[in-house]
Amino acid sequence: MSGIFTKSMARNIFYGGTVFFFLLFLALTFDTERELPNRDNRGAITPQVAAGKHLWEVNNCLGCHTLLGEGAYFAPELGNVYKRRGGDFIKGWMQAMPTGAPGRRQMPNFNLTDEELDQLVAFLKYTSEINTANWPPNIEG
């Protein structure tokens, strides 16, 4: 290659790169649109799951926890807590808080009713069934 970089060479590199990345963008968009219906579980949203999500938002659970990677990192990831612990454990844990154990971060007691706890467990069960392509890789979140 010669030591001269001409204006037409630069233009060709620019146009070639633009076309390449535009085609790559289209291919990735097509692949995403093809895969999303296979990962969708919108049919599993029940009124109980919707009420649990409302409780999740009203009590600002994302202020401490993460859910599928979104939220704060003060407390554990809860996207797969239902698979890890089960519904009865979640309910018992929430009813027992705060434990008063010295030196540990404590979750506040939100004084939720049994029905509200069932709704929150249904929401966490729903989130554990979302196809996240094996994320998080660690079962403990």
Domain range summary for the chain, segments of one domain joined by +: 1-39, 44-128
The token pair at 47 is: 């009124």
**Rg, C-alpha atoms of the chain:** 24
Q: Is the dihedral of CA 24, 26, 30, 35 positive or negative?
A: positive
pLDDT at 115: 96
Residue 49: CB atoms within 10 A of its CB come to 19
| Spatial separation of the C-alpha atoms in residues 59 and 57, rounded to whole Å | 6
Residue predicted with more confidence, 88 or 3: 88
CA distance linking residue 122 with residue 45, whole number of Å: 9
Q: Are 18 and 26 in contact (CB under 8 A)?
A: no
Tell me how far apart the alpha carbons of residues 77 and 133 are, in angstroms, rounded to a whole number.
16
pLDDT of the residue at 43:
67
User: What's the pTM?
Assistant: 0.73
DSSP 77: B
pLDDT at 141: 58
pLDDT at 1: 53
Q: Which long-range contacts (CB under 8 A, 24 or more apart) does 13-19 make?
A: none
pLDDT, tens only, 20-47: 999 999 999 999 899 887 776 766 789 9
44-128 is a CATH 1.10.10.10 domain: no
Predicted confidence band at 73 (pLDDT cuts at 50, 70, 90)? confident
Which tens digit of pLDDT belongs to each residue from 83-134?
Answer: 899 999 999 999 998 888 888 888 899 999 999 999 999 999 999 888 887 7
